[in-house]
Structure 1
Amino acid sequence: MRLHRLTVTAFGPFADTQVIDFDALSSAGIFLLRGQTGAGKTSVLDAVCFALYGGVPGARQKPGLALRSDHAAPGTLTEVTLDLTVAGRRLEVTRSPAQQRPKKGRAGFTTVKAASALRQHDATSGEWRALSRTHQEIGKEITELLGMSREQFCQVVLLPQGDFAQFLQADAEHRARLLGRLFDTRRFAAVEDRLAELRRGAEQQVRAGDERLHAVAQRIAQAAGPDGAPPLPEGQPGDPDLAPGVLAWAAVARSVAGERHDIAASALAEAGHRERGARAEREAQREVARLQARFEETRRRADTLEESRAGRDEAQALLDADRRAERVQDAAGSREGAEREHEQAAAAHARARSALPAGLAEAGAEQLAAAERTARQELGALEAAGRAEARAAEIDGERTELERQLRADEEAVRDAASWLGAWDGLRGRLQAGIDEAQQAATRAEALAGRLEPAVRRRDAARERDAAEREEAAALAG
């Protein structure tokens, strides 16, 4: 941000319009505002802050403290105009606070509302272009361009008047409070309080974790027994050495437990090996006993079979004889069935021969086949003749219907010829009727034209007669 020109009117100690050309002052690179107390050094900075943010720093912004100069003429209005360049833009901000001015032409004062205006210089045309005239828009624009609020601007850019002298003479505690008030370190105090709160919470979590860790270690020691782990380390929850000591103790206890586990696992494996050997030996003994029992059973069955060999041979001979007898019996039964079927076929053949004509009763197979073909041909010819006869009957019916339609058509033709013969006379009569109707319509139109005047004359005559009667009655009276 670079200030170019500041114009103040009736502001602070300045009763009239004062112009400060910062470009001329800063030509040497740096300048100093110097003057006696009350000369207006702080008012210049207040005017800059008022032009930018519509307010002044510190306690001078409190209600009841007016920005208007007490030495200004009643008709002179308080106004501050600041010409500056910020973010590469040449701007002009004009502000005036709420104030009293004399009423025009009357006694008393009236209140003038606070006003603001923002313009931007157009380098191309060399003219000022209005941007906004509302306090909110101008304040938002300036805050975005500077990147600071009014409070931040007053703390960082402007040096609070009189506060540093008080700071140099104060004690350490008072300096801390003063620095906190000057630079608004409340957020840092809040951060410190928050960190302290987090530290206390972390300590509580650590203490709770140590308690859980110590309880777990005690359960481990109880489970390991007096010879399974070394003594637990001494300490209270929250001690910095408790957790590392317990973890080291747990590592030793784990190592001891691992060794004991390995020994137990080895012993278990050896016991398992011996158990598997005993099981295998027992199974082998059981198999030998089973085979011996099976051998004894087989030998007993062999002895029994040997004793019954003679009876078995005799039964086998009887069985073979019985099977041969069954085969002979089956052949005899088949022969009897064939004879019965032959007799039935011969009877059927005789019946079929008896149904044939006399000339074919003794004919052979070839003659019978030829006779069958001839009969089939004759049957086909008879069926064709039947179909032809049916078609002939249908044709006769169609011919009869056509003859009937022909007679009807001839009768219609005769009726039409008769009607056409009488048409000329009928047409003449109809034309004569039409002519008479047209003549009657013409006469009706003529009569209608004469009727209306006659009606008017009749009405006039009636009115005349009525008037004469009234006149006669009046004379008679």
Structure 2
Amino acid sequence: MKILAIRLKNLASLAGEQVIDFTAEPLASAGLFAITGPTGAGKSTILDALCLALFGKTPRLASINALTKVPDGEDEIGTNDVRNLLRRGCGSGYAEVDFVGVDRTPYRARWEVKRAREKINGRLQTSNQSLLDLDSNQLLASGKKGEFEELIQLKLGLNLAQFTRAVLLAQSEFSAFLKARDDERGTLLEKLTDTGLYSRL
């Protein structure tokens, strides 16, 4: 799997449309790059967009209590609901990722959320995901969550837990690894990469 581009609109701290194209310069020829900036600049939002487009979930919200609610107009929404990532005062938003799958075919995965009639005070609607084959311009999945989940895992070769471990190592887990004593690093590394099986063998 290779990520070609990340596009997002009106998510968390990033207003309007944003595009990160890994096939264009200066990123195309960069062997390594870093996402940097002050707190609130949108670093985590970029990673959220990547996970939302591919899985409709984000690890950042996974540890938040599902029972806690926040007001949303006349309704309430769970604090761990990914629709909370829609920027306040916006009628719609999306996350989109172009990637090359394990079958070497380019795809576009998209997650989107809207308010009723796309009005900023409209009721929050159910989010939607779609998967497009970029070579044939054929829509492979749209609307049916189970169908999308099965297909995206097949095209990526990874589920969300595997993707998080292999591609998107959580900041807190990486920090724990860096600060660990030498004798604890091996155990932590096994946990982060889910390779404990090899030690047991």
TM interval, short-chain normalised: 0.7 to 0.9
Q: Of 76, 79, 95, which residue of structure 1 is paired with 2:94?
A: 79
Structure 1 residues 103, 96: closer, same or farther in 2, change over 3 A?
A: closer
CA distance in 2, matches of 1:39, 1:119: 30
In structure 2, the partner of 1:52 is 54
Q: CA deviation at 1:153?
A: 1.0
Which amino acid is 1:92 matched to? Answer: R
Aligned equivalents of 2:152 and 2:28: distance in 1?
A: 26
Greater strand share, 1 or 2?
Answer: 2
1:95 equivalent to 2:103? Answer no
1:121 aligned to 2:134? yes
RMSD: 3.1
Distance 2:118 2:159 in 1: 39
1 or 2 for the larger relative contact order (CA 8 Å, sep ≥6)? 2
| Post-superposition offset of 1:177 | 5.9
Q: Could you tell me whether the CA contact under 8 Å between 2:97 and 2:108 is conserved in 1?
A: yes
If the length of structure 2 is used for normalisation, what is the TM-score? 0.73
1:197-208 aligned within 5 A: none
Residue 158 (str. 1) matches residue 168 (str. 2): yes
| Preserved contact between residue 11 and residue 87 of structure 2 (Cα < 8 Å) | no
Cα distance, 1:84–1:183 mapped onto 2, change above 3 Å: closer
Distance 2:50 2:105 in 1: 17
Distance 1:188 1:4 in 2: 32
Q: Distance in 1 between matches of 2:81 and 2:197?
A: 34
Q: Partner residue of 2:193?
A: 183
Q: CA deviation at 1:71?
A: 4.4
TM-score (norm 1): 0.34
Matching residue within 149, 156, 176 for 2:159: 149
- Structure 1 counterpart of 2:7, which letter? T
Equivalent pairs, count: 182
CA contact (8 A) 1:15 1:69 kept: no
SS, match of residue 119 in structure 1: strand
C-alpha separation between the residues in 2 aligned to 1:49 and 1:104? 23
User: Quick one: distance in 2 between partners of 1:26 and 1:104?
Assistant: 34
The corresponding residue for 2:8 is 8
Aligned AA (2:171): Q
Name the residue aligned to 1:27: 28
Give, in whole Å, the separation in 2 of the partners of 1:183 and 1:96. Answer: 30
Tell me the CA shift for residue 108 of structure 1: 6.2
Secondary structure at 2:35's aligned position in 1? coil
2-structure distance, mates of 1:176, 1:88: 34
Partner secondary structure for residue 139 of structure 1: helix
State the SS of the aligned residue for 2:148.
helix
Distance, in Å, in 2 between the alignment partners of 1:33 and 1:41 is 6
- Which amino acid is 1:146 matched to? L
| Structure 2 letter corresponding to 1:138 | F
- 1:112 Cα offset (Å): 0.6
Within 2, Cα distance between the matches of 1:120 and 1:104? 27
In the TM superposition, what are the counterparts of 1:389-408 in structure 2 within 5 Å? Answer: none
* Higher helix proportion: 1
Partner AA of 2:61 in structure 1 = R
The Cα of 1:131 is off from its aligned counterpart by: 1.6
Note if 1:135 corresponds to 2:150. no
Deviations 1:184-243 (A, max 9, x none): 45x639x84xx8xxxxxxxxxxxxxxxxxxxxxxxxxxxxxxxxxxxxxxxxxxxxxxxx
Structure 1: 5+ residue runs without aligned partners?
196-477
Matched to 1:17, the amino acid is E
Report which of the two structures shows the higher radius of gyration computed on alpha carbons: 1
Deviations 1:143-197 (A, max 9, x none): 1122221101110112321332332223357646644542345x639x84xx8xx
Per-residue deviation, 1:91: 1.2
